[in-house]
Amino acid sequence: MRVLIVGGGGREHGIAWKLAKSPKVEKLYCAPGNAGIAEVAECVNIGVMEFESLVAFAKEKRIDLTVVAPDDPLAAGAVDAFEAAGLRAFGPRKNAAVLEGSKAFSKDLMKKYGIPTAAYETFDSADKALSYLETADMPIVLKADGLALGKGVLICSTLEEAKAGVRSLMLDKQFGSAGNRIVIEEFMTGREVSVLSFVDGRTIRIMTSAQDHKRAKDGDKGLNTGGMGTFSPSPFYTDEIHAFCQEHIYQPTVDAMRAEGREFKGVIFFGLMLTEKGPRVLEYNARFGDPETQVVLPRMKNDLVDVFEACIDETLDQVELEFEDNAAVCVVLASEGYPEHYEKGYKISGLEKFAGADGYYVFHAGTKFNENGDVITNGGRVLGVTALGSSLAAARANAYKAAEWVQFENQYMRRDIGKAIDEA
Ligand code: AMP
Ligand code: GLY
């Protein structure tokens, strides 16, 4: 089979690495890819939003399956574009990707179908949002409706902060048109869990659980980022919680999308909060998580091609997902200053240490080759170092050991990824 992956970050490196292990894949391409993905796939210089060029490339190379991984092209209809050209593509169509693309849509869906989530109101006007805040309890959460790289969520402890937040989202357009509409929601407390699943429109199969660390600094301080590290499985995601989610969250979400005429095929990533009153949905993503993928796929036993095909062919009911009875931890090596200002272009050394190191992986997020063929930093999140272990504690020790194998200037990492497991 000839497979094309659309995307070029750590998540896509994880997917590419896993697909490259499938005996069914004879040729793998990635657009645009990065320096790490280039080890397992041929990278093609086409941007993820250049649908016409992507489709033309897939036709020319007789691609059998295209995997659209990032949220922006999914929300903009990349899968529809491939299908319109008679090509097979994995991922939700535009009308289903709205599950992630619009927070107002997903909140309304949950309310309509009784799926547990935080209480909320939606606002199209800053004036109405500001007057609503006058009577609301603090802290409170403001969310830009549209996609904002995981950064369009403001948690405000005081009325003043909340008002400033509304102004910055809706009037100053901090996240552009993503803030034309906002959701204001109840602040919840509890542990967060990321649960990834495959969906074929009707059947949903849950992968293993994981936990991300979204804040930039140790102790969950600093700004929200795309994710600074992950571990899998989450020891807080018990069988009892799983059973509750199966009944009240997972299948109901898939059924709700079908009932709305928005059949969902692809990956649904449930961002859950385990509150005192039970699990609640914080958010849906219509794609694999980053860096959740980097701890989930190394633990998965199935051939990923089989699972992708079953989602497209609506035969997921015949697939059982299997995971190793082990644990994985991923530590993100970032550029100092991420998610705000940071420098790029520094040479990365030590990557070769991962070759042949069983159970250790370095997934590239923001890297590229310079003119001399050296791998250099090319983003805020640069690498994700993943290690397996027989327990979470062992995996964490291994991941931090392997993080020392790599060096680049202005390197920054959180030192407390997976610390929460000590409390489990
Ligand atoms: P989201 O993009 O919706 O997942 O929000 C990003 C982060 O903000 C989440 O991972 C949570 O840490 C936090 N968050 C979002 N919604 C709430 C809420 N209702 N209560 C408390 N924290 C929240
Ligand atoms: N790691 C969170 C996300 O992929 O949205």
Ligand nearest to the CA of 191: 1
Which pLDDT score, from 0 to 100, does residue 150 have? Answer: 63
Section 234-249 average pLDDT: 97
pLDDT at 420: 86
Question: In a 3-state reduction of DSSP, which class is residue 10?
Answer: helix
- Look at residue 423 in the predicted model and tell me its pLDDT: 81
Across the range 59-81, mean pLDDT stands at 98
Mean pLDDT on 233-241? 97
CA Rg, the chain, in Å?
21
Q: Which ligand is nearest to the CA of 152?
A: 1
Say which amino acid occupies 262: R
Per-residue pLDDT tens digits for 18-58: 999 999 999 999 999 999 999 999 999 999 999 999 999 99
Which residue has the least CA distance to atom 6 on ligand 1?
A: 153
Q: For position 23, what pLDDT does the model report?
A: 98
The ligand 2 atom nearest the CA atom of 150: 5
Q: Which of 292, 294, 331, 363 to mutate to test the pocket of ligand 2 (most atoms within 8 A of CB)?
A: 292
pLDDT of residue 335: 98
Pocket probe mutation, ligand 2, options 103, 285, 294, 296, max atoms within 8 Å of Cβ: 285
Task: Say which ligand is closest to the CA of 106.
Answer: 1
pLDDT digits (tens, 9 = 90+) for 314-362: 999 999 999 999 999 999 999 999 999 999 999 999 999 999 999 999 9
| Of residues 193, 335, 211, the one with CA closest to residue 275 | 193
Name the residue of 290, 293, 297 whose CB sits within 8 Å of the most ligand 2 atoms, as the mutation to test its pocket. 290
The Cα 13–Cα 298 span in angstroms is: 12
Which residue's CA is minimally distant from atom 3 of ligand 2?
Answer: 289
Residue 387 dihedral angles phi and psi, to the nearest 5°: -135, 145
Of the candidates 171, 184, 105, the one whose C-alpha atom is nearest the C-alpha of residue 138 is 184
Number of other CB atoms surrounding residue 412 within 10 Å: 17
Residue whose CA is at the smallest distance from ligand 2 atom 4: 289
Own/partner pairs, 42-51, CB within 8 angstroms, 24+ separation = 43/8, 48/6, 48/7, 48/8, 48/72, 48/73, 48/78, 49/73, 49/76, 51/76, 51/77, 51/78, 51/81
CA–centroid distance, 134 to ligand 2, in Å, is 32
Q: What is the pLDDT at residue 175?
A: 82
Q: For the residues 57-78, what does the mean pLDDT come to?
A: 98
Q: Which pTM was predicted? A: 0.95
The pLDDT mean for the chain works out to 96
Residue 71 Cα to ligand 2 midpoint, Å, equals 10
Q: Whose CA is nearest to atom 15 of ligand 1?
A: 282
Is-contact 327 232, C-beta < 8 A? yes
Tell me which residues have their CB closer than 6 angstroms to ligand 1: 118, 141, 143, 150, 153, 155, 185-188, 192, 214, 271, 282-283
Residue 185 CA: which ligand 1 atom is closest? 19
Task: With a cut of 90, say whether residue 205 has pLDDT above it.
Answer: yes
Structure tokens at 203: 């059947």
Q: Give the distance (Å) from ligand 2 centre to CA of residue 352.
A: 28
Q: Ligand 2, residues 100, 143, 147, 194: which to mutate, most atoms within 8 A of Cβ?
A: 194
Distance CA 400, CA 230 (A): 12
pLDDT at 127: 93
- Degrees to nearest 5, angle at CA 28 with 26 and 32: 170
Q: How far is the CA of 135 from the centre of ligand 1 (A)?
A: 21
Give the other-Cβ count within 10 Å of 386's Cβ.
33
Nearest Cα residue to 383 out of 231, 229, 232, 234? 229
**Amino acid 223: pLDDT:** 87
* 65 confidence band (pLDDT: 50, 70, 90): very high
- State the pLDDT confidence band at 173, using cuts at 50, 70 and 90: confident
| Atom number, ligand 2, closest to the C-alpha of residue 227 | 1
**Which ligand is the nearest neighbour of the Cα of 154?**
1
Atom of ligand 1 minimally distant from the CA of 152: 2
CB-defined site of ligand 2, < 6 Å: 150, 212, 227, 285, 289-290, 292
Q: What is the pLDDT of residue 149?
A: 67
Q: Report in angstroms the alpha-carbon separations of 8 from 225, 278, 414.
A: 18, 36, 23
Give the model's pLDDT for residue 174.
Answer: 83
Tell me: the pLDDT tens digits for 243-293?
A: 999 999 999 999 999 999 999 999 999 999 999 999 999 999 999 999 999
* Confidence at residue 176, expressed as pLDDT on a 0 to 100 scale: 81
pLDDT of 152 > 90? The answer is: no
Tell how far the Cα of 226 is from the centroid of ligand 2, in angstroms: 6
Query: What is residue 84's predicted lDDT score, i.e. its pLDDT?
Result: 98
- For residue 374, give the nearest of 392, 348, 398, 395 by alpha carbon: 348
Name the 3-class secondary structure at 60: helix
Q: Which two structure tokens, joined as six digits, stand for 390?
A: 């027989």
Cβ atoms of residues 96 and 264 within 8 Å: yes
Do 367 and 374 contact (CB within 8 A), yes or no? no
Atom of ligand 1 at shortest distance to CA of 150? 2
Instruction: Please tell me the number of the ligand nearest to residue 175's CA.
Output: 1
